[in-house]
Amino acid sequence: YPILLSVLSNQKSLNFKDSQFESLGSLSDHIAYQSSTSKASINFYDGQVKFNNEFITDQILPFEHPKHRKLNSNSSLAMWLNADFKADVKPLAKPPSIKQNFFKFYKGYLDIEWLKSTNKKDTIISFEFNENFEQVEKKQIVDRKIPELFINMDADAKPLVRYLTDSNLLDTQSNKISIMAIPLFQTYFQSDGNQIQLSSVNQAPFNTDRIASDDFFYLYADFNKLVKDSSFPLVASNLLTLKKLESKGRKTGAKKIKFETVIDFQNEKANALIQLVKMYQKLKSTPIQVNFGNAMPKN
């Protein structure tokens, strides 16, 4: 309240042109942010929001001439990344996790593709206690939506296979990834020596051909397809407002990169800001609980 009074009485105030925000005065963006290392803007239109962010970093190292696999145009979700990351030289405060160990084999390229989901009968194994307080196995046949999901990564394949095998995360006879690592559905592993693939499809085609791009990062999500393919109704219902998302990352200078993101909404006539507020209110009032317990698909 005292601060508001001082502002209203024009006390302790600066002329906008004499402040560090002068450069923002000429911008026409709805929301703008600028610092010595970053510049960002957000604009809200009917049925669409655009977000741009350009910043200086030495942690992300985009390739000078990015390339990526040609992904399917009918994908529900598609993403690629052609960049390295600056190694963290700080000692770990705790033992490294599986994820930390896995991505230390990463060699500058990763892509993810979700084509569709198919219904499949699966055996779910859970455990419960009988009247003698003994834990017994319970099997149940259920219909599940299994996504056609593909993850490709440039990697040191031989030491990665050794690590997965020694950690009991990979059965080299069946090429199955342990359900303890990925419990939602059965995942298969294959490699050509320099690139590895994780897929929900056994013996999936292994295409390593690349095409050139100006962008080192790309993300596309078709929310209509994702809602249709989702196995989590509560999550899907909260995505119904969105139509699609497209984001691109490009190197714009020395240690400088820029991300441009566009989100389209189902309702093309209502302002995107109002739709985001309503979506947030719905998410806040809808508890989303995912509890897998001891249930997991049978190998």
Per-residue pLDDT of 43-80, as tens digits, reads 999 999 999 999 999 999 999 999 999 998 889 999 99
By mean pLDDT, which of 27-31, 99-103, 261-265 is the weakest? 99-103
pLDDT at 288 over 80: no
Backbone angles phi and psi of 271, in degrees to 5? -60, 140
Position 141 pLDDT exceeds 50 = yes
Check residue 286 and report its DSSP letter: S
Q: Which amino acid, one-letter code, is at 57? A: T
pLDDT at 32 over 90: no
Token pair in block for residue 19: 């402040």
Mean pLDDT of 22-43: 82
| Pairing of β 38-45 and β 31-34 | antiparallel
Q: With bands split at pLDDT 50, 70 and 90, how would you rate the model's confidence at 128?
A: confident
Q: Which two tokens stand for residue 16?
A: 């906008």
For residue 97, is pLDDT > 90? no
Across 199-213, 254-268, 276-290, least confident range: 276-290
**Torsion, CA 98, CA 82, CA 261, CA 112, rounded to 10:** -50
293 has a pLDDT exceeding 60: no
Residue 262's alpha-carbon distances to 23, 51, 226, 246, 287, in angstroms, are: 25, 6, 17, 5, 27
Return the minimum-mean-pLDDT range out of 65-69, 167-171, 251-255, 294-298. 294-298
**In the predicted model, is pLDDT for residue 110 greater than 60?**
yes
Q: With bands split at pLDDT 50, 70 and 90, how would you rate the model's confidence at 135?
A: confident
200 within 8 A of 230, measured Cβ to Cβ: no
Confidence of residue 294 (pLDDT cuts 50, 70, 90): very low
- Amino acid 15: pLDDT: 66
At 247, which amino acid appears?
Answer: S
For the segment 8-12, the average pLDDT, to the nearest whole number, is: 63
According to the model, what pLDDT value does residue 18 have?
62
Tokens of 156: 């040191």
Higher pLDDT, 138 or 190: 190
Q: How confident is the model at residue 295 (pLDDT cuts 50, 70, 90)?
A: very low
Confidence band for 246, pLDDT divided at 50, 70 and 90 = very high
The predicted structure's pLDDT at residue 3: 67
Confidence of residue 211 (pLDDT cuts 50, 70, 90): very high
Q: From CA 87, how far away is CA 271, in angstroms rounded?
A: 42
Query: What's the pTM value of the predicted model, to 2 decimals?
Result: 0.77
